[in-house]
Amino acid sequence: MALSGMRGLSVFISDIRNCPNKEQERLRVDKELGNIRTRFKSEKGLTHYEKKKYVWKMLYIHMLGYDVDFGHMEAVSLISAPKYPEKQVGYIVTSSLLNENHDFLRLAINTVRNDIIGRNETFQCLALTMVGNIGGREFSESLAPDVQKLLISSSCRPLVRKKAALCLLRLYRKNPDVVNIDGWADRMAQLLDERDLGVLTSSTSLLVALVSNNHEAYWSCLPKCVKILERLARNQDIPQEYTYYGIPSPWLQVKAMRALQYFPTIEDPNIRRSLFEVLQRILMGTDVVKNVNKNNASHAVLFEALALVMHLDAEKEMMSQCVALLGKFIAVREPNIRYLGLENMSRMLMVTDVHDSIKRHQAQIITSLKDPDISIRRRALDLLYGMCDVSNAKDIVEELLQYLSAADFAMREELSLKAAILAEKFAPDLSWYVDVILQLIDKAGDFVSDDIWFRVVQFVTNNEDLQPYAAAKAREYLDKPAIHETMVKVSAYLLGEYSHLLARRPGCSPKEIFTVIHEKLPTVSTTTIPILLSTYAKILMHTQPADPELQKIVWAIFNKYESCIDVEIQQRAVEYFALSKKGAALMDILAEMPKFPERQSALLKKAEDAEVDSAEQSAIKLRAQQQMSNALVVTDQRPANGAPSDCWRA
């Protein structure tokens, strides 16, 4: 357990561990930092060995969570040390303490470059590693050509070349221009002929990055990728050390398949056939085994193969095989596989052919919506949202609503928004739609934005048949002892407009309607009161012949609010009072709202925006944005073929 040769460091670590509390630890750390600071500043100067010891201590202190800014300079200066042990510390600690935004790092560029182009292989590796881990744009511009040289140099050991490959990858990510495509495309293809699997693994990562930005230039790499995959899948002279629980480098298989997903098509029929053979074997030949690691590794390959199959837009038969597989997966006990089954099913939805086969698994997916694991619940919600259409909308939305009461806060907003959108897009009939929205408001009022209730009002306004129904429902909700403020707003509005349609029903006389609304006034905030005032005015207006008792009560309310400090409330109170005194002339002014013109659903727009703004983006949307494959292009919402869109013909 002891450190070789750095006793001071061991002792320090032990001291820290022996501190009985945080206070003591802080004291010990401060003492050490003070000591280090003094020694660094002292005239005598430190031996490289001492510097090494102090810089490691600083890293340890940094890991504990303390600030060690003053030591950056020292760490960077060690990079220029002549001997390996000290140089190593300089490089490694610098990588941990600093990042590309630190100016100090620039001071090291020359030394780093010298190490890279120099003869000392160990120094080359140190430099490549640091640049690969924390290099920024400046490093990119000065070092990329040298790194490229190392990568293709046959006199360099695989050790150096694999580091060069990944170092170049980083530099490329920081500044894509450093890889001159014209010269590089052929080289890249050659690199894929590499025998050493370590170098090949690194080079393939580089390839994935290059191809993701520009597949046109790298067509020659496509057949090579397929060859790599074939070699691995058939376990053709793969050294034992690259076999993981019997599986030939699962990671390289995954990388190769990932690279292939950036080419839109495979035109050569031979290559296409070979690839499909490999994929077919993976799809059908991956068994579930007891060993967890082997299982994970083989399924890692399987899921990537699935993604590739989807991308290649395979024949219907293969796609059904995929769906069948996924159907199995979403029902297994193992949570990781279940999760991935759900996630991949969502991705499959982009391939519209399989919509029907996926719907067969609806019951299982709904069960997953209630899984104790939030990761699985999220995937299930995404999938349900994606697979909803006219035939299953009612079931799905009702499940979502039911689940809403039990859902944790993290999911409620997303659930509400999605339920509202689905209800609107696929409602079998409008009264159901109204029911759903009102239920939403009732169960999750806090998470239901104004857009949602404005929308339901628009629908009701535009559909005369719906109006008595909506008003009656609103009336029902008002009977509940405690309702959400949004419910008060929407109910008051609807009843204001349409309660006169209910006048003959029990409990729905103007006076009764007014009373039940007014009871809620003390429970609401100043944003709702203006709506209530409008409602009272409308009720009065619709009560023909006039009810003098009701008039008196309402006028008293208007009078009361004439001196309200809120300007909107005050204005409405004053104006409604004056208007209502005018009697019959009021009819025109407070007539029912005209129909709303056709407009894009604010909800759908919100869903798109929400998914861009919120911290928890839907995995599918992000995946669709990041992968430029044709098969996975997110088509705009499928045309709604349910009733709601028809009713928009005003």
Partner 1 sequence: MIRFILLQNRQGKTRLAKYYVPLEDSEKHKVEYEVHRLVVNRDSKFTNFVEFRTHKVIYRRYAGLFFSLCVDITDNELAYLECIHLFVEILDHFFSNVCELDLVFNFHKVYLILDEFILAGELQETSKRAIIERMGELEKLE
Site for partner 1 in 616-645 (CB under 8 A): 616-617, 619, 622-623, 626-627
CA angle, 553 as apex, 549 and 554 as ends, to 5°? 115
Contact between 483 and partner 1 per CB under 8 A: no
341 binds partner 1 (CB under 8 A): no
Tokens of 266: 């495979």
Q: Of these, 51, 311, 378, 500, which contacts partner 1 (CB under 8 A)?
A: 378
Nearest to 164 by CA among 196, 127, 194: 127
Q: Candidates 1-9, 147-155, 425-433, 501-509 — which segment interacts with partner 1 by CB under 8 A?
A: 1-9
**Residue 249 contacts partner 1 per CB under 8 A:** yes
Residue 300 found at the interface with partner 1 (CB under 8 A): yes
Q: Is residue 213 involved in binding partner 1 (CB under 8 A)?
A: no
Examine residue 346 and tell whether it contacts partner 1 (CB under 8 A): no
What is the nearest approach in angstroms of partner 1 to the Cβ of residue 499?
46
Residue 63 is a binding residue for partner 1 (CB under 8 A): yes
Binding residue (CB under 8 A) for partner 1 from 18, 26, 30, 85: 85
| Residue position matching structure tokens 């759903």 | 436
Using rule CB under 8 A, residue 484 touches partner 1: no
DSSP-assigned letter for residue 227:
H
* Omega within 30 of 0 (cis) for the link into 545: yes
For 22-49, b/e burial (b = at least 16 CB within 10 A) is eeebeebbeebbeebeebbeeeeeeebe
Neighbours of 107 (CB within 10 A): 15
Out of 71, 198, 496, 642, point to the residue binding partner 1 (CB under 8 A).
198
Q: What is the CA radius of gyration of the chain?
A: 34
- Report whether 489 contacts 496 (CB < 8 A): no
92 contacts partner 1 (rule: CB under 8 A) = yes
* 132 touches partner 1 (CB under 8 A): yes
With CB under 8 A as the contact rule, the residue among 26, 30, 67, 641 that binds partner 1 is 67
Ranges within 574-603 binding partner 1 (CB under 8 A): none
CA-closest candidate to residue 57, choices 81, 91, 33: 33
Decide if residue 349 touches partner 1 (CB under 8 A).
no
Q: Does 124 bind partner 1 (CB under 8 A)?
A: no
Choice between 120 and 544, CB closer to partner 1: 120
Whichever of 144 and 167 has its CB closer to partner 1, that residue is 167
Site for partner 1 in 500-529 (CB under 8 A): none
How would DSSP label each residue in 91-131? HHHHHHH--TT-THHHHTHHHHHHHHHSS-HHHHHHHHHHH
Using the minimum distance from each CB to partner 1, give the nearer residue, 143 or 252: 252
- The label of the residue with tokens 């399924």 reads 299
Termini Cα distance of the chain: 80
Please give the residues from 268 up to 297 whose contact with partner 1 meets the rule CB under 8 A.
293, 296-297
Closest distance to partner 1 from the beta carbon of 290 (Å):
15
- Residues facing 414 on adjacent strands: none
Looking at the DSSP bridge assignments, the partners of residue 244 are 247
Look up residue 259 and give its amino acid. A
Binding to partner 1, residues 149-188 (CB under 8 A)? 159, 162-163, 166-167, 169-170, 173
Q: Does 59 bind partner 1 (CB under 8 A)?
A: yes
Among 34, 118, 145, 335, binds partner 1 (CB under 8 A): 335
Q: Give the separation between CA 437 and CA 469, rounded to whole angstroms.
A: 13
Grouping H, G, I as helix, E, B as strand and the rest as coil, residue 244 is: strand
How many residues in total does the chain contain? Answer: 650
| Contact flag: residue 375 with partner 1 (CB under 8 A) | yes
Helices 121-134, 109-117: crossing angle, 10 deg rounding: 130
CB of 390 to partner 1, least distance (A): 31
Count residues near partner 1 (CB under 8 A): 82
Among 90, 136, 386, 496, binds partner 1 (CB under 8 A): 136
Q: Which of 24, 122, 220, 391 binds partner 1 (CB under 8 A)?
A: 122
Q: Select from 218, 242, 447, 498 the one that contacts partner 1 (CB under 8 A).
A: 242
- DSSP string for 541-592: HH-SS--HHHHHHHHHHHHHHTT-SSHHHHHHHHHHHHHHHTGGGHHHHTPP
| Integer angstrom CA distances of residue 357 from 214, 300, 354 | 35, 24, 5
The piece of 80-88, 181-189, 412-420, 567-575 that touches partner 1 (CB under 8 A) is 80-88
Of these, 129, 528, 534, 551, which contacts partner 1 (CB under 8 A)?
129
The answer to whether the beta carbons of residues 130 and 94 sit under 8 Å apart is yes
Minimum gap (Å) between residue 547 Cβ and partner 1: 57
Q: Which residue has the tokens 């050659």?
A: 190
- C-beta of 132 vs 642, nearer to partner 1: 132
Q: Which is nearer to partner 1, 279 or 478 (CB)?
A: 279
12 touches partner 1 by CB under 8 A: no
Which residue's entry shows tokens 């699962």?
A: 250
Is 412 near partner 1 (CB under 8 A)? no
Residue nearer to partner 1 on the CB measure, 99 or 352: 99
Which residue, 135 or 510, has its beta carbon nearer to partner 1?
135
Among the listed residues 94, 148, 202, 543, the single contact to partner 1 using CB under 8 A: 202
Q: Which value, to the nearest 10 degrees, does the dihedral of the CA atoms of residues 580, 584, 585, 587 take?
A: 80
